A and B are shown apart, each in its own frame.
Chain A
């Protein structure tokens, strides 16, 4: 049966009239139905970045340590010294997780892991940045959010735990804007020797092309196109576009591919992620400046009777395309038979730049590979700015009982302990987790390379909603600050841009502002962008999500003794605030959670101050003066101090004196001014600490001392006192309590 190409068919494939004309011009004829499908997935936003490509060019992508740049390959590669390098990347699985949270999240993990080992790297750690609607309460919407949250966490746990890669950190936010459209951004980092960098290019005319891994089925048909549409009530109908993950197969594929790569017989390797076989064939050919010809009849298939269209567009998981040096075919057989994985010789590299797909020797697809992979239209979308958020007038904020406010903030799921989440993730496998989840940044010891890596993900989407440019800058600054607090020097960034429908000018403006903010901040912090992912069309029936440009940042700690944790350690240690006390309360969690106002101007970032604070904190750490370091973020100083008291294995109190300070106490406690770090030092090191800070000409102040069983904050007028055991109760069990209240399907 031949499907006629009508304007409706073209539209159903998400292609515009103009795009269809472009396809005709490339082919010099009308495409057939299969070719139309191929173009539709390759030119979807998910694969082509057609609406964002011009923006993404603004990122700094070069640097002395960058070995593989953003966009060159599946993931960027960064030098970490001693002949070792890291490959890392973050990717979203938002749309699939919205309709099928467990499999959506699981396959998100599987997909990013394949991106990393495709580079020749052994994946060693995972992080997740997750965002959901509110989970406290008993409305139908809240119960649904709990179901999505529980499903996503279980899905991540299902895949990551089985594959044996520790999930050692990340973040979880809860906000109305993510209701019905959760964000699931998964970060993976792998380690490799410089000479092990593998390429996704089809090199060497005549080289055989192998298909390895799971059989192709009908699952995940056109998932890339699905991810390039708005989520609506009807999106549930798209469940067949969600793939099903098999972590066991994923683990075998990982081991088999690394073993084959180590043998030196691989000329090119590419995972089959979005757009499956289609994408891997045309991208390898395009990168290699060659062509590829395959016959679909040779592809291992899960069910009979699949059409060429279905085989090409399937997004079945755990599959790779491998181009092997001619004459080395037996090696593939040996390795894949050892691991009991399907493999098949499906074609060869050609010299004419064409992607040719046959089915039982009948030509189904004949497209110039480079044009398909790289010549998608590029659009500049209309952007209309929103009015700047007004400055907060503190007089408009009624005074409330601050004793209660701190407890309320600590118990809010966004700020509360995420132990309910990370206890479900295996975060100790691979025997390298030095700082487990729950500190500013997770620290992992890579035994084979003898290196300590720190990694974090950050984004305050409330700031981004109210000022996307400043919010994006702050996301980078906070990520760097988190790394510095753990003792690391920031190296490089991967980003995951989560926004609404780009055809709405206000959404596109948010995206552009965020990209420019990220780009500028990455330049200032000397952390190039090594790659990432764009997820648009994050809409639910009530509108777009808050703009969420998630930043994943990796740092390196040269010496073990520099590794620093966030919690206070011993009685009588002296507490310092490095950075200003601050007073900016706009867009703060205090304003949002306690006063129900998600509004006003977010804090401003000063690069000079931020870089100065980070430099001095790192200097103090490297001098061996710092016993704990914790950055101030959501919830300000009050929450940060409380976390220093309650996040260690042993809880301990603290006293902080603010003396004569000309602001209200809620401003002191809960403002979210940037560039602030709380450290604690041995009493005998107080003098040395003060001398270093003074010499650096950075604002700092002695807050008080660690000790006792209460957190005490006092000014000249007022003293507040909390029992740390009670703060711990509110903070530690909040999410668990919410999750015990049941789900709704």
Chain B
């Protein structure tokens, strides 16, 4: 098993994602440069946070044209598990692998703070080991993380159980106060219809070590490893 952590120029959570996998879980993971044209030899892909290509235009708008993203789109359509975190989520939306868009935070400010998430579905490779309704603690850090979609898309996301995480308060209620960026329906993460592609704004890569105040992020990566192992044994 080997997991790819994509490196765009301007990625800045690439090292954190790699360490979460190699130091936190002791699973093999390697960087994959944006100029590469294939994800051959890898079993899953992590698109890390950061400011790919500077993100001066619109977050993720340039990254979607990179050679590696084209390869990821092909692999994802073939069922490879892909997770986009923060900027990675923005890229997945821009690349059309996930519906909707991430727009400027309602406050118009960058927001960095810990949040509570509620797991809305265990039917993705990244949440398979988690109980539905389980609460997770991890930080957000973004300027453009407000999830937006057309009413029809939102309805479809709900009916097909594609909402993966919601921002909630400590008691698990999704409230206005617990929503750090004005996301519609308090959406913090979603998956595609085939359920193998997940995008989320919060950072599991910053919550995998007791010292960081939470190890909840590790659970997502453990789920992924579990899913990959079960595929291998099949």
Contacts and interface: CB of A to CB of B under 8 A. Distances in A.
Contact of B141 (A249, A251, A429, A560): A429
Interface string B1-26: 00000000110110110011001000
A161 B110 contact: yes
Q: How large is the interface on B (under 10, 10 to 19, 20 to 34, 35 or more residues)?
A: 20 to 34
A163 interface: yes
A162 B10 contact: yes
Given A248-B54, A431-B19, A424 B110 contact: yes
Contacts of B12: 162-164, 251, 429
B79 to A, nearest CB: 30
Q: How large is the interface on A (under 10, 10 to 19, 20 to 34, 35 or more residues)?
A: 20 to 34
A246 B54 contact: yes
Contacts of A428: 112, 139, 141, 203, 206, 212
Contacts of B10: 162, 248, 251-252
A107 to B, nearest CB: 16
A229 interface: no
A422 interface: yes
Interface string B127-160: 0000000000001010100000000000000000
A426 B51 contact: no
Nearest to A339: B9
B135 to A, nearest CB: 15
Contact of B56 (A154, A163, A248, A433): A248
Given A424-B111, A426-B110, A162 B211 contact: no
B-side interface mostly:
mixed
A445 B16 CA distance: 13
Nearest to B11: A164
Interface string B94-116: 00000000000000011111000
Interface in B174-206: 203, 205-206
B9 A340 contact: yes
Contacts of B221: none
B209 interface: yes
A445 B211 contact: yes
Contacts of A246: 54
A425 interface: yes
A694 B172 CA distance: 48
Contacts of B111: 423-424
Given A162-B10, A164-B13, A431-B208, A425 B112 contact: yes
Interface of B: 9-10, 12-13, 15-16, 19-20, 23, 49-51, 53-56, 109-113, 139, 141, 143, 203, 205-206, 208-209, 211-213
Interface of A: 154, 157, 161-164, 246-249, 251-252, 339-340, 422-434, 445, 447, 560
List 10 tightest A-B contacts by C-beta distance, closest first. A164-B12, A248-B54, A431-B16, A426-B141, A428-B139, A162-B51, A431-B206, A424-B110, A428-B206, A426-B112
Given A425-B112, A429-B13, A434-B213, 18 more contacts: A157-B109, A161-B110, A161-B141, A162-B12, A162-B51, A162-B54, A164-B12, A247-B54, A251-B9, A251-B12, A339-B9, A422-B112, A423-B112, A424-B112, A425-B110, A428-B203, A431-B212, A433-B212
